[in-house]
Structures are given as C-alpha cells and as structure tokens.
Chain A
Amino acid sequence: MTERAAKARPRIELGTRELRAALVALLAGVYLAVWPQLRGPSAEAGDAPAAVATSTVSATPRTVWIDQLPPGERPLVEVPAGWTLASSSAGSPRELAPPATSISRPRIARATRSHARIRTRSS
C-alpha cells in the first residue's frame, strides 16, 4: 500500500504591503457599492427635474386640517372660551337615533285631594 503524504495546502505568502493593498481594495469596493445611497438622487441628463417639496404660492389658496400637520409645524391657535378645535377625522356631524316613536302615556287618575294645594318638595 502506498502511503501518500498529505498534500500540503498551497501557501500564499503575503507581505505587509500586499495585505495593506488588499485591505484598501476591499474598502474601496465597499465604498463604491454604497456610494449611490450616500450621495442621494442626482439629476442626470434626460431625467425629469426632481419634485421640490417646498410650499409654493398658487393661484388657489390651499386648505389643510391643522391636525394633519406634523406636531412641530402646527401654528399656535388661541381658541376663545367655550370653543374647541374640530378634528379632521370628525367628518360630518353624526346624527343621533331619534327617541322611540311610540311613547307610553302614564296612567292618569283623579287625585285624592279635592283642591290643588301645592306642597313644596325638593326637585
């Protein structure tokens, strides 16, 4: 039986300079890969202009519910006493169900005393 000696693993001998270069190359590759996300969208030739998220003065005044604005952007509103700010989620006033249409009349009878003499009682 022939015994073969274990094949030695190939060895790559790297010096310090080679290691440093390899590390730099690795980092550069990672940076290039994430660079588009770091830079953000950019206009290239032929692209439509990016939408500008700033208020513009248009011919028609805009209306916004105050509670739809972010809390930090809501203007301070002084509400007169007895008033409350309505909520945009409130929608139209709700209708309450009407009372029952069939009202039962209380039983009516002659009083026991002959003349009405009012006696005060706490109501």
Chain B
Amino acid sequence: MNDATPWTFRAMGTDVLVAAPTLDTHAQSLLAEQVADLFAANELRFSRFREDSELSQLNRARGPCHVSDALFDVLWAARAHLDATDGVFDPAIGAALVALGYDAPFSPGALDRSVSRLPPARASLREVALDPSTHTVSRPSHVQIDLGGIVKGRTVDEAARLLPDVGAIDAGGDARLRGAGPTGHGWLVDVEDPRDADRTLVTLAVRDRGVATSAPNRRRWRVGRGHAHHLVDPRTGRSARSDLAQVTIVADSTERADVLAKTMFLLGRDAARAGLRQMPDVSAVLVGTDGRTELVGSLDVVPEKGVARA
C-alpha cells in the first residue's frame, strides 16, 4: 500500500504541498522534485523582490524590451484578466505596493513603518504595449508590474499537469485538485475563519478544480496609526476597503480562482455576488466583515456547520 503522506517544500514565501497517493514513494519523490524545480524557476523569473529576476529587469528597463516567452505569456494572460474584470484586476500595482511599504518579502512586523506615503500616479497594464509577434514589451516608466496576484496560481496549474489522475498541489491555499482525492469522495478543503485561524467555517469536497482565497488578515502591517494590507485596489492605489473579510473561489483553474478571489474581494459583497452569478462555472465562499458566511454557486459541502447559501 502506498504511503499517501504528501511531500512539502518552501517556495514563493509559502509551504507547497504535493500529494499523489496513487504513486509509489520513489515516484512521489521525483514528482515533488519536478514541482519544486518549477516553483523555483518561476520565482526566479517573476519575483519583484529579486533584483536579477526578469520582471525586476523589465520594471527598470527604459524603452522596448524583448522578454522571454514565459514572461510574455504571463503578461498577456494578465491583460486578458484585466479586460475580463473591467480593470478591477490589474497587476500594475507595483509602485503602489512599495508606497504602502510592501517593498520586501512579507514577514510579521517586517513591513511596519511609522509614516505613510502618498499613493503614486495611477497606472495600468493597459498602458503597457505588448507585441505578440516579437514578444516585445514597452512599459511607461511610471508603470511598475507586480505579478503576485497571478503567478502563484498559474504555477500551481503548471505543476498540476505533472500530476497523475489523482493528485493535489497546494501552495499556501492556492490549490489544484485532480481526481476524487485519496478516499474517492473528493479532496477536502477547509475554509479557514479569517478571525480565528484555528477555526474552520465550512469544509468542501472538491474534484478537478482550482481553489484560491483572498483575505487581508495574513499580509497586514502597521503604517502610522493605521494598517495596510497587500490587496491593493488599482483604482485607488491603496489597500482595499471591503465589506468582505475573505473570498474563496473554486474555478476551472487555480490561476482564474486566484484572479477572481482578489477581484471579488475588491468589489465587495453585493457586486461580488452579482458578478459570480454571471459565471455559472465558478463557486465561492464569501465571508463578510459582519461574520456572515455565504455560499455562491455549486459547492459540495461536507456537513458540519450551518451556513447561509446565497
């Protein structure tokens, strides 16, 4: 009988879990190594905290740049998400994040500062010219790109292609779940209570889907007398104010779940609910700042606690 214990490693600032219970131990180990290499390569290329990353070079470059296929594909995909969300999702928030204090990898207390800075001039990925025939990118100097809202989910999807018919990749809550899980009844996904990390609000059984969550509680730091968090609203350049405390999205890919989780958080409860109803292939768990939890769309809930279904 195979050992179903997942393998884990640290990448992109989080713990990554690789589960393939139908493989033997040696095959699981090889799979975990391949997934780890993929995460390391993408972090090297897309991290804005590494000066030598291709993204950081692009953010410093003047004039048109020829970029790698990998970077161009991410930018092209980001542009598509921007268009699909009417600009609510926009990765041109690098300068805003730095102005808020998020200028280094997050760890509790590391970003605290006594004074706040004014948000920079508004920027959008729409201002960046992308030439698909030459993979050339022309970026106005005030546009600083941050791919944190798309790369992790996208990397999870890429890694999931290496999985057998039953497997899971979980990168700090951005997860791609293939098959019906180790028990045949779906992979279990515990939706954490944003007010109490030890408490579970609802447990879902998920098959062949991507899952992602957005909430401001974990990446939050002090700025003067207030706080900032990493979910920046590109329309204001400031940490978003929402009547939602957390959004969990279940979608056909982790990348899409990642993008939509942030988008719905920025939109707020009513607009999120309305937007989600336009997407029948997407489901969500919306947790309000008032503590109320709603389920939107088709979700397989493992009955443990009563929640309101929208």
* Interface residue ranges, A against B (CB under 8 Å): 81-84, 86-87, 89-91, 93-100, 103-111, 113-123
Partner of A114, one of B5, B140, B171: B5
Please classify how large the interface on chain B is, using the bins under 10, 10 to 19, 20 to 34, 35 or more: 35 or more
CA distance A91 to B181 in the complex (A): 54
The A/B interface has a contact count, at CB < 8 Å, of 166
26 A–B contacts, CB within 8 A, in A order: A82-B128, A82-B129, A86-B64, A89-B63, A90-B63, A93-B63, A93-B64, A94-B63, A94-B64, A94-B65, A96-B54, A103-B41, A104-B40, A106-B9, A106-B40, A109-B9, A110-B5, A111-B17, A115-B5, A115-B182, A116-B170, A119-B189, A119-B190, A120-B173, A120-B246, A123-B212
CA distance A98 to B57 in the complex (A): 10
Partner of A99, one of B11, B19, B52, B211: B52
CA distance A86 to B134 in the complex (A): 15
| A93 with B213: CB separation less than 8 A | no
* Interface residue ranges, B against A (CB under 8 Å): 4-11, 14, 16-17, 19, 21, 29, 32-33, 36-37, 39-41, 44-45, 52-54, 57-58, 61, 63-68, 126-129, 134, 136, 138, 140, 152-153, 168, 170-175, 177, 181-182, 187-192, 194, 200, 206, 211-219, 246, 248, 258, 261
Q: In the complex, which of the residues A83, A98, A104, A110 has the most CB atoms of chain B within 10 Å of its own CB atom? A: A110
| 9 closest cross-chain pairs (CB), A and B | A116-B19, A121-B173, A122-B215, A106-B9, A90-B63, A93-B64, A120-B213, A93-B66, A111-B6
| B9 with A123: CB separation less than 8 A | no
